[in-house]
Amino acid sequence: MKILDRYIIKTFFGPFLFIFSVLFFIFIVNIIWIQMAQFVGKGLTYWEITKLLFYMGVSVVSMVMPLTILLSSIMTFGEFGERYELAAMKAAGISLTRVMTPLFIVTTILATILFFFQNNITPDFQRKAKNMLYNIAATKPALNFTPGQFINQIPGFSVKFDKIEGEGGEKVEGVFIHKSTNIYENQQAVVAKNGRFVPAGDKNYLKLLLYNGYVYEDEYRNKDYNQRLKQPNQSVKFDTLVLHFDVSELINKAIEKEQITDDYRFQTYNQINKTIVKTKKDNDEVMQGLGTSMVSNANNYVNIIQSSKEKPKKVVAQYKIDTLKKQKKLDVLYSAYNKIESQKNELSTKEEQIKGMVKGYNKMIIYQQRIFAYSFTCIIFFLIGASLGSIIRKGGMGVPVVVAIVIFIIFYVMNLTVENLSWKGKMNPYLAAWLPNLILFPFGLWLTIKALTDSQLFDIEKYRTLFKPLIEKFQKPKEHARYQ
């Protein structure tokens, strides 16, 4: 490696490491903001939260890497141009292509690393993150109550609160607690006007103080049916009642236990390919079943042809509607109307089912193809960034940041647009995954050609000269020009 190559690579990696760290932090903050409700009040340790954020943050590398390469390449070549280093290199007979070559090789290596990272490392962390989120929701129910809804997360009880107030949700109103038992055990229910959660001496218990309520109990144990009918309801009125719920089973449950394993996002490229083939086969069978069901329901007297080799049988009409009596005719028409309405409702239901199948299948393909596509995006963004930097000739965090953000927003909007179109079945998922790259690649080549030919693409004076005749037509004459 020559001294010039080492200098160019060193200049590139300075802003690259800084920008990657900043962008990674920004994306992590966004994840924290979205997932904040799942962290607060769940009794998680700082280590568990940090580990979960790390697992979730790994998935954003696929978006952070291309943007970092784009911004770093613009800044690197912008600084070369601003410090007249590009001019010095060209004066020494070194072409822009030669200057871009070492960084192009570095970008290709980074793109390859990103592919292997997405294919082998990201699925494992995706699985860990999803299982941690699931286990947090399932094993940390103490302050996860929803007003007006029964929850069964506390072992042995069904609990409902009409209102939940307080900073940590410790104050409750309209309390109803039912002990979960079978029909051969004593039945118990607690109703209270209000109450509040208080810290328990033992972390394995959830302590609840209730005020102004009743305890209802039916003694059914070891009693036959007739004795139960004679058994009167027993109720005890209380001013204050203390309840302890044993949640040790939930708390001691491993928060990282992997219970969810069947997800295409947990698989490598080749594994997803097998899943796609299987899903397509299953979808075809479902679609065939839906078609057969619709034909069968349309007319019970139609013989469904199972084999394409069989000749279709002639369908004979059961009724000649004009020959029927009035009441019979009304009955037949009413029956036909009901069947049509039933078919319309069933068709609407099956339409939603088909949309769900198409969306799931296309999401799987887009996710698989983007393992490759984002790696190519890194190379395309380098071509765009290096060309823009050498044309703009501005370093630092000013113009390069604005230009990079605009380009990335365009790329991101294109990604979302084609993704939504594909989910609706209006675009081929393979095309949707690659279309942003197919649009930006010619743009990157065009900019590269402009940079190699020293194009004055962003020279403001050039555009002023071009539009000067048009501007003068709408411009008022200057004050001193009237007397000339």
Tell me the per-residue pLDDT of 265-291, one tens digit each, with 9 for 90 and over. Answer: 888 888 888 888 888 888 888 777 766
pTM value is 0.65
pLDDT of 55: 83
Within 10 A of 210 (CB to CB), how many other CB atoms are there?
Answer: 22
Give the tens place of pLDDT for each residue, 151-199.
Answer: 776 777 888 888 888 766 778 889 888 887 766 667 778 899 999 888 7
Contact indicator for 96, 451 with CB cutoff of 8 Å: yes
User: Where are the extended beta strands (E) located within 122-264?
Assistant: 157-165, 171-179, 187-198, 205-218, 234-246
Candidates 234, 264, 242, 154; CA nearest to 198 is 242
Contact indicator for 59, 125 with CB cutoff of 8 Å: yes
As a whole number of angstroms, the distance between CA 331 and CA 286 comes to 35
pLDDT of 305: 43
Q: Report the mean per-residue pLDDT for the chain.
A: 78
Which is higher by pLDDT, 59 or 432? 432
Give the tens place of pLDDT for each residue, 466-476.
Answer: 666 776 666 66
Candidates 442, 383, 377, 444; CA nearest to 411 is 377
CA dihedral 50, 53, 55, 58 (to 10 degrees): -120
What is the band of 307 on the pLDDT scale with cuts at 50, 70, 90?
very low
What is the band of 250 on the pLDDT scale with cuts at 50, 70, 90?
low
As a whole number of angstroms, the distance between CA 313 and CA 318 comes to 15
The residues, ordered by sequence, that sit 6+ positions from 324 with a Cβ below 8 Å of its Cβ are: 332
Q: Tokens 């932090």, residue? A: 25
Within 10 A of 291 (CB to CB), how many other CB atoms are there?
Answer: 12
Taking phi over 0 as left and psi of -120 to 50 as alpha, with beta for the rest, 174 belongs to left
As a whole number of angstroms, the distance between CA 374 and CA 361 comes to 20
Within 10 A of 311 (CB to CB), how many other CB atoms are there?
Answer: 6
Q: CA separation (Å) from 103 to 72, 93, 97, 125, 431?
A: 11, 19, 10, 30, 29
